[in-house]
Amino acid sequence: MVFNAKKSALFAVGKAYEVAIDCLCIGYDSISRITSLKYLGMFFTVRQKLKCDIDYSVHKFYTVANTIYSHSKFASEISKLFLMETFCFPLISCGCECINYDSKNLCQLNVCCNNAYRKVFGMHAWDSVKELQFFCNRLHFLYNLRPRSHSFSLTVKTDSRNYINRMLYKDIY
């Protein structure tokens, strides 16, 4: 097996994440140290604990939402809402099954969804979208995240063949 140093990187997380490491090499090539990592569409940042950076997902959400809104000016509100739910909401809910977002990140993701509702229905920033979601028969964004994360953790827990999963979840359930 041959490792390519140009495609490899050092990403440190934990108590010693700021410790300078001397030249780490594979063969004669040195491995670069990075501060953020993109894995399966999610961005992770170097901290004492592994943190998920949602800024890129939020940026993509607003880009796609503005594109949909600009190309569907003469469509009905329900059609626009369907397009937003189909193409925008998965961008910010991607990976929610396996990442524990803190309250600040959850609030930011919820604001994105509420702004999409406001844009589609021509509401002001200070207007509440709760009644709108009720009459459109839609759930609050955070209520859509919880079942997905719980179903993932239960599937991981029940897979008794995987040694790593058993060790990770032995004290939780």
Domain ranges of the chain: 5-52, 54-141
Can you tell me the mean pLDDT for 32-52? 79
pLDDT-based confidence at 57, cuts 50/70/90? confident
Can you tell me the mean pLDDT for 11-36? 80
Burial, 112: exposed, middle or buried (Cβ in 10 Å; 0-12, 13-18, 19+)?
buried
Q: What is the DSSP letter of 36?
A: E
Evaluate whether 75 touches 129 at the Cβ level (below 8 Å): no
pLDDT tens per residue across span 78-128 = 899 899 888 988 888 877 766 777 888 888 888 888 898 888 888 888 888
pTM here is 0.68
CB neighbours of 25 closer than 8 A, spacing ≥ 6?
A: 5, 31
Quote the CA–CA distance of 64 and 72 in Å, as a whole number: 12
Exposed e or buried b for every residue in 53-84, given b needs 16+ CB within 10 A?
A: bbeebbeebbebbeebbeeeeeeeeeebbebb
pLDDT of residue 131 exceeding 90 = no
Residues facing 51 on adjacent strands: 45
What SS3 state is found at 99?
coil
pLDDT-based confidence at 4, cuts 50/70/90? confident
Position 173 scores a pLDDT of 44
Position 155 scores a pLDDT of 52
